[in-house]
Amino acid sequence: AKREGKNTYRFFCRSSAITSLKNLEIKDDLRRALNHNELQLAYQPQICARSGRLVGCEALLRWHHPDKGWIPPDVFIPVAEQSGLILPLGRWVILEACHQIKAWQNAGNAVPRVSVNVSFVQLLREDMHTLLHDCLTGLDLAPDCLAVEVTESSIMRGEEAISQLRKIRKSGIRVALDDFGTGYSSLSALKGLPIDELKIDKSFVTDLNQGTDGKAIMSAVIAMARQLNLEVVAEGVETDTELAYLRQKGADIIQGYYFSKPLLHGEFSAYLNQHSAS
Ligand code: C2E
Ligand code: CA
Ligand code: CA
Ligand code: CA
């Protein structure tokens, strides 16, 4: 049993050494990616549950590495957060989203609100209100063009993050609480937080197919969010059955493969031309 324990330990060390080497590599490559146009945003449609209209989209980072191909954000975002690269990366995302909104507007489209993801590191180390304000005014865009998505766990990190969000929201930018239900906060802890919208994590949508408990939880979350005057976005919606249940319970906005995967800007332009509310 002793030997087994030792082997397990050595295996653990070796694999964590490999992980940190890999992360070093990702970090160097990511720094280069930022300066060499390897990053793009993909936009995933958000659909009004009642009218079926396109009301927004979420901007999601895509990285095409010259040798390794597509690298998923779940892999490189944590590395960017640990290394501080998330600060220039996050600035690029906001600037790119604003330029894209402007380009779609100039092409004559009615552009739905664009949500950008903001990391807790940005909330703690960057003046996000000024950054967002400067991007918007520099391009002559209205604040309601944009929403920011912050995770439940980052907003629970303390008063600094919350006061940043309060300023952002006061300026007219929408604030969404992302991945709701995966952290430890209760619905009552949301009372008084500067948020407009609750995004129910896709694991809860998936659980709708797992019998009555999943449905009961979803129905309770939607009901309470509505009592707090928060809009409810359900993400990761893939099937008819999920959509029907969410509609019946009063979810406001639906995002997921059922309607569309995230689309690169050219594809999203085509989507806009087909689905514009006109
Ligand atoms: P997230 O913010 O929770 O984004 C939703 C994720 O769910 C996206 O994965 C999206 O492609 C995926 N998704 C949407 N609909 C469906 C569906 O119907 N089924 C399934 N199975 N998946 C669906 P993605 O693009 O791989 O992004 C993963 C995570 O990376 C995001 O999770 C977010 O936490 C992070 N991320 C992406 N872009 C950024 C960014 O610009 N900044 C920061 N800080 N984080 C980002
Ligand atoms: Ca998000
Ligand atoms: Ca999410
Ligand atoms: Ca997530």
Query: What is the C-alpha to C-alpha distance for residues 268 and 87, in angstroms, rounded to an integer?
Result: 26
Task: Convert 9-58 into a string of H (helix), E (strand) and C (coil).
Answer: HHHHHHHHHHHHHHHHHHHHHHHHHHHCCCEEEEEEEEEECCCCCEEEEE
Residue whose CB lies within 8 A of the most ligand 1 atoms, among 39, 46, 62, 77, for a mutation test: 77
Token pair, residue 197, equals 């919208």
Token pair, residue 191, equals 């009372």
pLDDT single digits (tens) 102-114: 999 999 999 999 9
- Pairing status of strand 146-151 against strand 113-117: parallel
Q: How far is the CA of 108 from the centre of ligand 4 (A)?
A: 33
148 lines ligand 1 (CB under 6 A): no
pTM > 0.90: yes or no: yes
256 lines ligand 1 (CB under 6 A): yes
Report the complex ipTM. Answer: 0.98
73 lines ligand 1 (CB under 6 A): yes
150 lines ligand 1 (CB under 6 A): no
Q: Helices (DSSP H) in the chain: which residue ranges? A: 2-35, 73-83, 86-106, 120-125, 128-138, 152-155, 159-170, 202-206, 212-227, 240-249, 265-275
Main-chain dihedrals φ then ψ at residue 192, nearest 5 degrees: 85, -5
pLDDT single digits (tens) 68-86: 999 999 999 999 999 999 9
Closest CA to 174 of 160, 195, 189: 195
